[in-house]
Amino acid sequence: MSRILYKYLDITGAKCMIGMDGVLKRPNIQFTNASQLNDPFDCHPNLMDYSEIPEYILNLHGAPLEWYTEKEKNDALNLRNDTWLSSFSKTNDSLLMWSHYCANHKGICIGMNLVELRENMPSMGVGMYLLEPLRLEVEYQDILNRPKAYHSPIDPHFYQLLTKAKAWEYEQEVRLIIEKPHPWLAAFTPEQAKEAKKDKHKIWDWKEIHHYLPIRGERFKEIYFGINTNPNEKERIINYARTKLNPDIKLYQMQVDPDAFRLKPEPIIEK
């Protein structure tokens, strides 16, 4: 796995992540509950088949097959509800990603070092659990062929959290995952903060609340600006990145390749 992974963001999300704007006012990684993703099949509890429970399990617990099957389904549902994740990509030049996640090429793509990121994670004492990087690569399947949970070498939890349809393969996704994150990591997005201010009595679903992991600015290695990024926003981000984020950060402007349907980055040289 490449050490540099990429986060596609619109301008608002990008400024929140690098700490220019937003609630935290410092660099961070946003984690979203697994039930709130844009793919309804993502981390779905029915990805694994729990209908065939071995006899030794049933005898051990003395419960009927129906009870144990229902329990496994509930456990899979709880796994989804208790998991927050942040998605990265192995590539920085995906036309579809720039269009879908960067507001039609108006946003930016941030490159980060995964190994350094893991070294910066909070200790286990705050209730944070990070899966090993090699286990975080999403796997893509042509057809939903549900593995038998007790008759397969595949770990049911990893399969549920890391399996997506082939249609998403262009994303080349790698995930950072936390289970039951500590409340001190939770915060409203800027949009949620505005809504909460207007309606102070609103009851929020806890799964809607994002969690933010504070990180050091030097973890940001590269920034790529979209072909339609607002010039004023671009200049602001460049100044902030070089003076307050990481003086050694590499900056690029994405350009249309005249010879092919692809994007190519051009280095932004400091004046």
Residue 117 to residue 101: CA distance in whole angstroms: 22
Which carries the bigger pLDDT value, residue 92 or residue 120? Answer: 92
The pLDDT of residue 2 is 62
For residue range 217-243, list pLDDT tens digits in order: 988 999 999 999 999 999 999 999 999
Look up residue 76 and give its DSSP letter: H
Which carries the bigger pLDDT value, residue 129 or residue 137? Answer: 137
Quick one: average pLDDT of 169-191?
A: 89
The pLDDT of residue 242 is 95
The pLDDT of residue 48 is 87
The pLDDT of residue 166 is 94
Quick one: average pLDDT of 97-104?
A: 96
Greatest CA separation for the chain:
74
For residue range 102-131, list pLDDT tens digits in order: 999 999 999 998 777 666 554 433 444 443
The pLDDT of residue 127 is 43
Domain ranges of the chain: 4-267
pTM metric for this prediction: 0.89
What is the rounded average pLDDT for all residues in the chain? 87
Alpha-carbon torsion angle 231, 236, 242, 243, nearest 10: 160
**Distances in Å between the alpha carbon of 53 and those of 38, 65, 69, 212, 223?**
32, 7, 7, 38, 49
pLDDT band at 178 (very low <50, low <70, confident <90, very high): confident
User: SS3 for 99?
Assistant: helix
The pLDDT of residue 117 is 67
Look up residue 203 and give its DSSP letter: P
